[in-house]
Structure 1
Amino acid sequence: MHADVRRSAIFCSFLVLAQAFYIPGFSIKSYRDGETIPLFVNKVYSDNTELQYAYSELPFVCTPSGRTHSGSSLISGTSLSLNLGEVLRGDRIMVSDYELVMGNDEEARYLCSHQVDRKGLKRAKEIIRDGYVAEWIVDNLPGATSFVTTDKSRKYYAAGFKIGEEYYSSGSTEPQYFINNHVTLVIRYHQAPGKDGQQGKKVIVGFEVFPKSIEAGNRNEDGLPVDIHNVEYGMELHISPNTTDAEGEYADPSSVSETDDLDDGATLTIPYTYSVYFREEEKLEWQNRWDMYFVAQDESSKIHWLAIINSLVILGLLTAVVAVIVARTIRGDIKGYKDGGVEEGKAKVKRVRGTRSPRKSAEKGGLLDHLGDADADADISSDEESLEDITGWKLVHGDVFRPPPYGGLLAPLVGSGMQLVFMAAGLLTLSCFGVLNPSFRGGYISVGMGLFVVAGLFSGYFSSRVYKTFGGQLWQKNVLVTGTLIPGLLFATVFILNLFVWAQASSTAIPFGTLVGLIALWLLIQLPLVYIGGWYGFIVVGAWDHPIKTNVIPRQIPLQSWYTKSVQTILIAGFIPFAVIFIELMFVFKSLWQDKSGYYYVFGFLAVVSVILIITVIEVTIVATYVQLCSENYHWWWQSFLVGGSSSIWIFGYLLWYYFTKLHITGFVSSLLFFCYGFLACGVYGLLTSTIGFLSAYAFVRRIYGAIKAD
């Protein structure tokens, strides 16, 4: 009990420490009054689909004019250079024509009037119908829609703003679509820290966007609405149907669909305007400006604590089971094994006093002699019974280190798993200390890719050592399989899925140049690192030593109980780690699919749950391996690997349940992307935990059989 309390205190201390560090950016940009602030347009995305699109490429928005912004070298319509993570997450950032000048309010300003044909109008309706929101960026802050908490005590942000609205009038079955052609931009600022603040400079701490739909009519000669505050009619996306048929004769308008002829040349002019207001925030410091995006997550901190308590309870029960097995059962088995006189598979039969050979007994033939023989037989029988008590895991000591079938596949999988362990540990550590955060756009993917490539050293090292332990000799072939198997499968899957996304003209599609760069990273950097690590692990370090020699003839495995069979064991064992993390998974899923405009940033909680998960996987695998060995089944290599990653099966099942009950994803391509990428994520997680389970089971088996050897 005291141990559990101490463990809880340590985890809580770690959580506080992890949340105390936050590096919101690497440099502070301050502005003086009258200085131009660039506004960048990025992409549009929706919770109802996995497809994203570049905002600047939409057919119904203003075309960039190509002019240079005053006071800067930025030219509207030029794309910014992006890091690898930004490209892979679908960002397409471009300089816009919107002009923001620090301290200058603009009640209404004209941007452009854009003509949209029927095809563009149809596309606009699809975007609005699917619930797309736009992401604009000012000073690395995404434009946000502001909300108030349920108790109205705090305001928080949700990144992005709606493109338009779908409206059903009373008694109508056909929806009307209104586009938001006017935006009110509110820039919130604070006095700059240090010398810049003394010089009157300011820093941006908030960027809010309030969209509005305003009709095209009732405007002055500058294209501005006469009354921007009291709007009676919105900008409806509607072009009257062509009421003439192919022969030029009049047709009944009620029988003509608006989309019957998309190339009839008809257009709709959409005027775009905007307002700008600067407001000072005295209480919000620059280093805390991202807190507004995390308020919604802070409100759920009680549930996060519940997840940790749930995980600790499960871990405490499992730890007690492991302690009983190690401290009592195994130690007792080892003591009985040594007392029974069994060493290295040979029974030492004790010499019994008063025992005579059958021949001498028969020669004497007396009654006393027969009684003496009976006593001797009783002694021998007693000794044999003591030897028969040595059962279970002790009987398979001569086969427990026998190389598994398909060891040439298991070794590369373990190596790739260690590569993922290094990458995940690095990402989680950097996130907890604030180095990786939402202000570092694309940082998680970019740094993750870098860590994965560098971890090729660990991949080759562990793969080669395991391979040599299995008795393999062709280490260069093993290195090649290790460096290409898992990365090759991932790349091939992503490439095939990318073909579907390319066909949709989505910004989620990975550009061809980026694909070539990924191949170069893989084959020119990662693969040589795997080779170096493999050479060092196979040639320099070598195989792990086993405490007991393997028998020449394998032992026959008895009939197994239902719960020790592979499928049952994997499913039962996998449920325990899943129970540890399923509450935190709810927040991860919500951040990824239900609330894409938000950011998951409670990495302190995630780190604690991850540590508990790793310990749970280790203990579950040890218990499952011990039960298997007690059943005299020495095929534990693959079993421990599969048991370690078995919780991924439950996670994928949870993902299916989440899709059908919580999400509203529509379309074949979006569903395909969801299931395929979800399956890949579960596979990567399963490979990571499988490796942890395998290595922990290996250490456990070496330890208990080494204790027998060390008489």
Structure 2
Amino acid sequence: MIFWRTLIFICNLLFVVVGDEHTHTYKDFEEVVLWMNTVGPYHNRQETYSYFSLPFCVGPKGKISHYHETLGEALQGVELEFSGLDIDFKTDVAKTPYCEVELNEVRLKTFVYAVKNHYWYQMYIDDLPIWGIVGEVDEANDVYYIWTHKKFDLGYNGNQIVDVNLTSEARQKLELGAKIKFTYEANWKKSNVKFEDRFDKYLDPNFFQHRIHWFSIFNSFMMVIFLVGLVSMILMRTLRKDYARYSKDEEMDDMERDLGDEYGWKQVHGDVFRPPSHPVLFSALVGSGYQMLTVTFLVILLAIVGELYTERGSMVSIAIFIYAATSPINGYFGGSLYARMGGKVWIRQMMLSALLLPTMVCGTAFFINFIAIYYHASRAIAFTIMVSLFSFCLGNLLMLDICLCQKVSISHNHYQDILYFVLRYFIFTSFWAYKIYYVYGFMLLVFLILMVVVMCVTIVCAYFLLNAEDYRWQWTSFLAAASTSVYVYIYATYYFFFKTKMYGFFQTSFYFGYMALFSVTLGIMCGTIGYVGTSKFVRKIYSTVKID
């Protein structure tokens, strides 16, 4: 009962937070809000600042009818500010001045620096992103210009906005004492684009659906089939020989058996099911792995069905909701494994399971956030939001874990890397460069391929370990599978230095901090899959051999 009440509370709270800014439908002459988002150098995507950190000026309109920020936007540091421009649905606006800036020495240096470093800015109208360049450089004469006119071409289909384009015009030379007059205009045109297809123009099918992408998936799939078949054939042949040898040994009398040379995995049958060292940590990692596997699978499915890339911050919001709602999975699998190991200090195990991932995520986010605040970056998250989110997740996780760990403990006490290089490149490019990743069907297939390969490779490693008469297969299977994360982090390092143009302490900390978090989480998931597959394999082979 407590679980369901808590789950309903989570749903209500998060759905209120992630509700859409509006219904995406307008009446004629109804207000349309232009949001100003960020500004920053084009070649250093993570270095973003508030749009008005540059000496731009605000339009004359001071009030709007609504304002909204989702949970995902807040956690991504997206802070939208009203432009002050008066735009109404289906109402054309002729070229209109809206503000003026006089360039003193400070403002001049700021604009020149932005133009020199190829600063671009981002805006939103009805959740549709718009990008523009601050200015341009005449390198031959060492002269800097700023674009002063924003021309918006908006397409509508019925009562919905389906297309927005920005044209920057009227450049003006940047010089001390110049008066920069900013203007805008809005032109509305009927469009045949359907509302559900309005994000298609932002996608890059030539990039993500390139035949190299298809080939990488097909190649990976064929490699998996080959690997699974090879592993199965070798293991079955080897195990058949082992069974034959052990059956022959059973037919010998005691004297012949003593004179014989017994060896292999049967010799550790008395120790193989011993609990691993540090069972509290081990069970907490496995429980967290089960939960993260569930979260990843569900988020990818929802992304395939719901096209989450069309809504700002929706992916993060939904992932947080699913993570909070699936905390019983962590409590059940982690607690039941700990109980099977004969664990007694279940409160310590429950606390570690509940705190392991949230502490790691929040610790990394806090560290990077302090750096973002120091550099006045737009990605800085409000401290109150971070504390509230951590408290909210912690309270729900602890409540759900306590209920499940108690029930699980009582009941039980009573009775290597197949992530193909090209696909990794596509995913990294979409996250760290100017691409929107939308082919989540590919991602789901590769995710399943990765799980199968990790399981097969880990089973082989465990067999060799047991054959060497070493019974400590639990941690070995987990760590062998989790080593995939090391390779991913090495690739991330290569990608940073050779595929991006990011620079600066904040950008470096942001990149390597979150990539470390991603790699550790991937390692926990792969480790869990490796352990689960190996556990079933070990129990199967020992169940078919007669133990003296």
Regarding TM over 0.5, the answer is: yes
Distance 1:520 1:237 in 2: 49
- Partner residue, 1:689: 526
Match for 2:134 among 131, 149, 163? 163
Match for 1:48 among 44, 47, 67? 44
Aligned AA for 1:203? Answer: Q
Aligned AA for 2:50? Answer: A
Q: Go from structure 1 to structure 2 and tell me whether the alpha carbon gap of 1:33 and 1:449 turns closer, same or farther (over 3 Å shift).
A: closer
Distance 1:238 1:619 in 2: 67
- Partner residue, 2:458: 621
Q: Go from structure 1 to structure 2 and tell me whether the alpha carbon gap of 1:66 and 1:27 turns closer, same or farther (over 3 Å shift).
A: closer
- Partner residue, 2:341: 470
- The structural deviation recorded for 1:406 is 2.1
> Is the contact between residue 21 and residue 69 of structure 2 (CA under 8 Å) also seen in structure 1?
no
1:109 equivalent in alignment to 2:96: yes
Distance 2:132 2:234 in 1: 57
- The structural deviation recorded for 1:710 is 8.9
- The structural deviation recorded for 1:238 is 2.9
1:287 equivalent in alignment to 2:196: yes
> Is the contact between residue 453 and residue 522 of structure 1 (CA under 8 Å) also seen in structure 2?
yes
Q: Go from structure 1 to structure 2 and tell me whether the alpha carbon gap of 1:495 and 1:34 turns closer, same or farther (over 3 Å shift).
A: closer
Distance 1:299 1:50 in 2: 22
Aligned AA for 1:539? Answer: I
1:37 equivalent in alignment to 2:32: yes
- Partner residue, 1:81: 68
- Partner residue, 1:591: 430
> Is the contact between residue 52 and residue 508 of structure 1 (CA under 8 Å) also seen in structure 2?
yes
- Partner residue, 2:11: none
Secondary structure of the 1:433 match is: helix
- The structural deviation recorded for 1:332 is 3.6
Higher helix share: 2
> Is the contact between residue 461 and residue 535 of structure 1 (CA under 8 Å) also seen in structure 2?
no
- Partner residue, 1:211: 168
Q: Where do 1:472-551 residues align within 5 Å?
A: 472-541=343-412
Secondary structure of the 2:69 match is: coil
> Is the contact between residue 340 and residue 412 of structure 2 (CA under 8 Å) also seen in structure 1?
no
- The structural deviation recorded for 1:651 is 1.0
- The structural deviation recorded for 1:455 is 2.3
Aligned AA for 1:185? Answer: F
Distance 2:105 2:287 in 1: 55
> Is the contact between residue 358 and residue 394 of structure 2 (CA under 8 Å) also seen in structure 1?
no
Q: Which structure 1 residue ranges, 5 or more long, are not aligned?
A: 1-24, 75-79, 144-159, 193-201, 215-233, 240-266, 342-347, 352-379, 546-573
Match for 1:637 among 442, 450, 474? 474
> Is the contact between residue 457 and residue 534 of structure 1 (CA under 8 Å) also seen in structure 2?
no
> Is the contact between residue 155 and residue 190 of structure 2 (CA under 8 Å) also seen in structure 1?
yes
Q: Where do 1:378-457 residues align within 5 Å?
A: 387-388=260-261, 390-434=262-306, 436-457=307-328
Aligned AA for 2:183? Answer: T
Distance 1:527 1:64 in 2: 48
RMSD: 2.5
- The structural deviation recorded for 1:268 is 4.5
Distance 1:500 1:461 in 2: 37
Q: Which structure 2 residue ranges, 5 or more long, are not aligned?
A: 1-19
- Partner residue, 2:58: 63
Aligned AA for 2:531? Answer: F
Residues 44-73 of structure 1, C-alpha deviations (whole Å, 9 max, x = no match): 344415232222x3241113545346xxx3
Residues 284-312 of structure 1, C-alpha deviations (whole Å, 9 max, x = no match): 22221111111445663322211211211
> Is the contact between residue 276 and residue 474 of structure 2 (CA under 8 Å) also seen in structure 1?
yes
Q: Go from structure 1 to structure 2 and tell me whether the alpha carbon gap of 1:183 and 1:424 turns closer, same or farther (over 3 Å shift).
A: same
- Partner residue, 1:337: 246
> Is the contact between residue 49 and residue 130 of structure 1 (CA under 8 Å) also seen in structure 2?
no
Secondary structure of the 2:390 match is: helix
Q: Where do 1:206-285 residues align within 5 Å?
A: 206-212=163-169, 214=170, 234-239=171-176, 268-282=178-192, 284-285=193-194
Distance 1:106 1:64 in 2: 14
Identity of aligned residues (%): 28
Distance 2:404 2:59 in 1: 51
Distance 2:263 2:87 in 1: 81
Secondary structure of the 1:402 match is: coil
Aligned AA for 2:70? Answer: N
Distance 2:61 2:198 in 1: 32
Aligned AA for 1:411? Answer: S
Q: Go from structure 1 to structure 2 and tell me whether the alpha carbon gap of 1:29 and 1:501 turns closer, same or farther (over 3 Å shift).
A: closer
- Partner residue, 2:237: 328
Distance 2:200 2:63 in 1: 34
- Partner residue, 1:556: none
Aligned AA for 2:421? Answer: F
**Aligned length in residues:** 528
Secondary structure of the 2:161 match is: strand
- The structural deviation recorded for 1:26 is 11
Aligned AA for 1:211? Answer: S
